[in-house]
Chain A
């Protein structure tokens, strides 16, 4: 578990408050917007390129999920929540170094491999349900969405799993594992910090 039981219990109590829902929605939307921007570069690749269909599908899904998040969230009326959310989003995009994948020229290389590692980690580790106590019911539409999101991410990450293994890049298995591990740790740390801040600020 990425948070201690006390933090988890506290999150369970506040998870459905409007401020908390808003913070979580902004966190996820910020990441999905950044990922969509990275994925949009694939749109300039030839359709015959094998990964195109997989990554094009992910771009569409990310946009769809942003729309769904906007609809299921009970938004806060407190302006300070949005200020904090914007600050958090700016920092996490910096921590994840998304700019690496937006500015560099597109190529089937170690840079693309690293992006796939980051995208895999985003699909794998942004799991809010496990940080909640087992007793918290998941019937509310916001929590039901977060649970569904984990299932959707599980299906989406199949493209990353396949490409991380098969993409023809000149990296050794150890280098590949190292890159994927670095991106994984980066995302997990960002998520852990966000969850702790969420619990502390409410």
Chain B
């Protein structure tokens, strides 16, 4: 564990891997801290990368400002950390809040990274995300940190994961409760609320970008990732099957493989950043890694293409829907 002071604030970080290796920086989600990349660090160090994890301002054991916080300050702090540690053009991978910070970093320092991995991220608060944030903030302020933790538990993980990990969850929650300070979380959330849309700045990101979204992510939904895909020229959007918001925790093998594949292709100059959308193979060893999307990836359900008369029997069972149904189906393919 080490600390570095940036703009009068202490930042806790951990740096592992050989000094001459290609650097990779992980950026935490809102209620997370550096240790939550624990499953990733040895994997990528083993693959020959130099891995930096850190607690952002307001998180874990880094200083926690009370008054002012915004994404650009987080991005500047990260840039100062990267520079002070001598990490030349790292890959930057962030999830959720950290995904937005990673995006801001890529916009503010377009030559300061080799590639970007934005996971469960966003560049604007659309109607739903704005209201989700509003409710989360109110709950945090009026009830407390545990409210926020419980809420995220439901939206971060699948039912199966929650049921399988039932016994471990209390300790996990308590660790999160101890690491987080309510006022600091509020401050970070206000950074989100006060951040104007920066979708129009996405074209400033010139490096290759992998955009990753959980299939059932109802916090940062597919539409927000599609904005990133469309706005970043050398991007690809990949959907992690069965996953909710925190797929880095629930599906570390699949996520590791996606990031590793991305960085390898970027380094070999083989990254096909063609703004296409794909589904990740849910078998971490399965081939191919990228599966084509059937139907419209923005839809949660793919209705069959159909135009014509509904048979009499079906018409009766669809009372109120009128006899003639027109359906143009799912729309675009992969």
Contact = CB atoms under 8 A, between A and B. Distances in A.
Q: Give the interface SS of chain A, mostly helix, strand, loop or mixed.
A: helix
Contacts of A180: 66-67
A184 B183 CA distance: 12
Contact of A129 (B8, B171, B177, B182): B177
Nearest to B145: A154
A161 B183 contact: yes
A134 B175 contact: yes
Contacts of B175: 134
A164 interface: yes
Interface stretch (B94-102, B136-144, B229-237, B319-327): B136-144
Interface in B126-150: 141-146
A181 interface: yes
Given A155-B141, A155-B142, A155-B144, A177 B182 contact: no
B55 interface: no
B61 interface: yes
Contact of B65 (A130, A150, A151, A177): A177
A176 interface: yes
Nearest to A130: B178
A161 B66 contact: yes
A161 B8 CA distance: 21
A165 interface: yes
A154 B142 CA distance: 8
Q: Give the interface SS of chain B, mostly helix, strand, loop or mixed.
A: helix
A70 interface: no
A157 interface: yes
B67 A173 contact: yes
Contacts of A151: 143-144, 146
Contacts of B177: 129-130
A181 B8 contact: yes
A181 B9 CA distance: 10
B67 A124 contact: no
Given A129-B177, A130-B177, A177 B68 contact: yes
Contacts of A177: 65-68
A139 B66 CA distance: 31
A103 interface: no
A135 B175 CA distance: 10
B158 interface: no
Interface string B40-71: 00000000000000000000010001111000
Contacts of A173: 67-68
Interface in A91-136: 117, 120, 124-125, 127, 129-130, 134-135
Across the A-B interface, give the 3 residue pairs with the lowest CB-CB distance, nearest first: A130-B178, A154-B182, A151-B144
24 contacts: A1-B178, A117-B66, A120-B66, A124-B181, A124-B182, A124-B183, A125-B181, A130-B177, A130-B178, A134-B175, A154-B141, A154-B145, A154-B182, A154-B183, A155-B141, A155-B142, A155-B144, A161-B66, A173-B68, A176-B67, A177-B65, A177-B67, A177-B68, A184-B66
Given A134-B171, A177-B68, 4 more contacts: A134-B174, A151-B146, A154-B141, A180-B67
